[in-house]
Structure 1
Amino acid sequence: MTPSDEKLWSTLVHLGGLFFGFLAPLIGFLVLKDRGPFVRAHTATALNFQLTLIIAYVVGGILSIVIIGIFILIAAYVLNIVFCIIAAVKANQGQPYTYPLSIPFVS
């Protein structure tokens, strides 16, 4: 893959996580992980963040019985939007990015 293709696919994987949850980063990681170190790092990072968000959504859903769960769900939703856009911009610029508050499941 050329560096411009790696940047493009990395950007699309981050934006796919914004619209399709963990499914786009998972497919991107499985298909693109052997295409280059840049795209592998970004797809793994996006997948880790989306899996962390799934945990936050589950905890927020369970705790929505108590009022605090609603705030957790809102915070996770806002963090998903903000961090996915930041990561997509960094990927498009060719810079590495690590999501804050992300649990590293895949490396």
Structure 2
Amino acid sequence: MLDNHQKNIATLIHLSTFTRFFFPLGNFIAPIVLWALNKDKSEFVDSHGKQAINFQISILLYALILGSIAIPLFAFNLFSGFDFINFNNFDHFHISISKPSPLLFITGGLGVIAFIGFIIELILIIRASLTAREGKPYHYPFTINFIK
């Protein structure tokens, strides 16, 4: 039988991922500390802690993949439109940017996907914390189980 303390700890583990807005890597450190301190006391807390940590690691992996695609495309598009050779002895400095490249649209689309993913992440964290508060198990979608 679950008591309120176990439900509160599991809820707090999920909500502790929001500490990233206050200090770097808070979305990893806070849940890991809470989980490590309480995993032996309850299987319910252990399960929710693993889910929260696995979800954060999965989100990091997805962000790195998306960034490794988007950043080079953006940089290539940014520097391909500048005229770096002809400065006219610095008497008349003119930067010529041509029409937008398809790479810019692809990069913008990846940025939109990243923003939508961020909103979905926030919704899933809140949903997981509410489910933990009800005393039910929760499994984040699209999560790779690094910690089993």
Structures share a fold, TM > 0.5? yes
Aligned to 1:19: 19
Secondary structure of 1:48's counterpart equals helix
State the Cα RMSD in Å. 1.6
Answering whether residue 135 of structure 2 is matched by residue 94 of structure 1, we say: yes
2:124 to 67, 74, 83: 83
User: Whose helix proportion is higher, 1 or 2?
Assistant: 1
In the other structure, the counterpart of 2:99 is: none
Once residues 125 and 33 of structure 2 are traced to their aligned partners in structure 1, the CA distance between those partners, rounded to angstroms, is: 17
C-alpha distance in structure 2 between counterparts of 1:101 and 1:95, whole Å: 19
Unaligned runs of 5+ in 1: none
In structure 2, the partner of 1:106 is 147
Post-superposition offset of 1:39: 0.4
Larger radius of gyration: 2
C-alpha displacement at 1:11, in angstroms? 0.5
Cα shift at 1:62 = 1.6
Q: How much has 1:40 moved relative to structure 2? A: 0.4
* Pair 1:30-2:71 in alignment: no
| Identical-pair percentage | 28
Distance in 2 (CA, whole Å) between partners of 1:57 and 1:81 is 14
Cα shift readout 1:2-53 (whole Å, capped 9, x = no counterpart): 7211100110110111333222222122221111011000000000000001
Residues in 1 aligned to 2:8 and 2:66: alpha-carbon distance in whole angstroms? 33
Mean CA deviation greater in 16-25 or 87-96: 16-25
The corresponding residue for 2:9 is 9
Q: Is the Cα–Cα contact under 8 Å of residues 52 and 103 in structure 1 kept in the other structure? A: yes
Does the Cα contact within 8 Å between 1:63 and 1:70 map onto a contact in 2?
no
Deviation at 1:54, TM superposition (A): 0.7
How far apart in 2 are the matches of 1:22 and 1:72? Answer: 23
Structure 2: which 5+ residue stretches go unaligned? 21-26, 74-106
Partners of 1:26 and 1:47 within 8 A in 2: yes
Q: Which residue of 1 aligns with 2:64?
A: 58
Would you say how many aligned residue pairs link Structure 1 and Structure 2? 106
